[in-house]
Structure 1
Amino acid sequence: MSVQPRIDPFRNFNFRLEIDNLTVAAFSEVGGLTSDGDTVDYRTGVDIPLTARKLPGLRRNGPVTLKRGVIKDSSLWDWYRNIATGSADRRNGSVILMDEARNDVLRWNFENAWPNKIEGPALKAMGNEVAVESVELIVEDITLEVA
């Protein structure tokens, strides 16, 4: 009996995050898994067409934004403080998308990440929402791996 290929797309709520040396990595939102680049115009003096060639230029990745409910854990703030005080604390990580049976299906791997911005929760005395903190990671490379 052959296995039929999946037709339905995966849902966006089954995911987990792994980061080197980070004990708590349960996040409610991950964004910024992007990669783009510049184009370079180039033309030689002997080119017949009067248009420039388009060549690939430098690539850019991220930043990756992570959001989670505030818990009694300072690991993100400690990591940010390491960078802010000049420590070379770059880490690798992965965002893993899972199917309904919680099997890994896709993995976005990022390299040499470090927190550039960290934001505490917006607090409101009359509010009823979960307190959420966020961190923005600068990454040097993002690759996709199919599980």
Structure 2
Amino acid sequence: MSDYYPPVSFYFTLAFDGIRTANDAAFMEASGMDAEFTTTEIKEGGENRFAYRVPERAKYGNLVLKRGIAPSNSRLAMWCRDTLEGDGAYKIEPRSVQLLLLDAEASPVMAWNFVNAWPVKWSVASFNAQENKLAMETLEFSYNYFTRKMGGR
């Protein structure tokens, strides 16, 4: 593991429980590693200068992943398709997702583990005959919470 700080953000990989193909681990962009407390305001009688804010529970964003459009035999794409196009007939199958930030030697510097993730949105970027860009897809996952660990795995 490299001791360089801060680490670069462009070298990362993902792992989905039960999906072990290299194409399904490669993404161009990952976001949604955020958490915040929701709060309730309590106003005390006779105290007009402020209100107490007390924490309720943590709220997490969605994990958003972007990549070039995957082939139709992608296990990750099949999981997303079955979940999103199942019209409720397909049982939602949550999976753990791990995002590893890597150093120059491909050793994990940091890891985020997303618990009980499942696809909630799948979109394809627009096509434009006047641009020379990759055909991109965006996968968005809801999850219960995430944990962060230094050194990966």
Normalization by structure 1: what TM-score? 0.83
Q: Residues 7, 13 of structure 1: CA spacing in aligned structure 2 closer, same or farther, 3 A cutoff?
A: closer
Structure 2 residue aligned with 1:70: 69
Displacement of 1:7: 5.4
Structure 1 residue aligned with 2:140: 136
Alignment partner of 2:25: what SS? Answer: coil
Amino acid of the residue matched to residue 41 of structure 2? Answer: D
Structure 2 residue aligned with 1:28: 28
Amino acid of the residue matched to residue 140 of structure 2? Answer: E
Structure 2 residue aligned with 1:90: 94
Unaligned 5+ residue runs, structure 1?
none
Which structure has the bigger radius of gyration?
A: 1
Structure 1 residue aligned with 2:9: 12
Normalization by structure 2: what TM-score? 0.80
User: How well do the aligned residues superpose, as a CA RMSD in angstroms?
Assistant: 2.1
What are the residue-to-residue correspondences of 1:24-63 with 2, within 5 Å? 24-42=24-42, 49-50=47-48, 51-63=50-62
Alignment partner of 1:80: what SS? Answer: helix
Displacement of 1:57: 1.1
Unaligned 5+ residue runs, structure 2?
none
Q: Does 1:123 align with 2:120?
A: no
Aligned residues: 141
Q: Which moved more, 1:80-89 or 1:19-28?
A: 80-89
* Deviations 1:36-74, CA, capped at 9 Å, x for gaps: 1211223667xx755433211121112010011123244
Alignment partner of 1:95: what SS? Answer: strand
Amino acid of the residue matched to residue 15 of structure 2? Answer: E
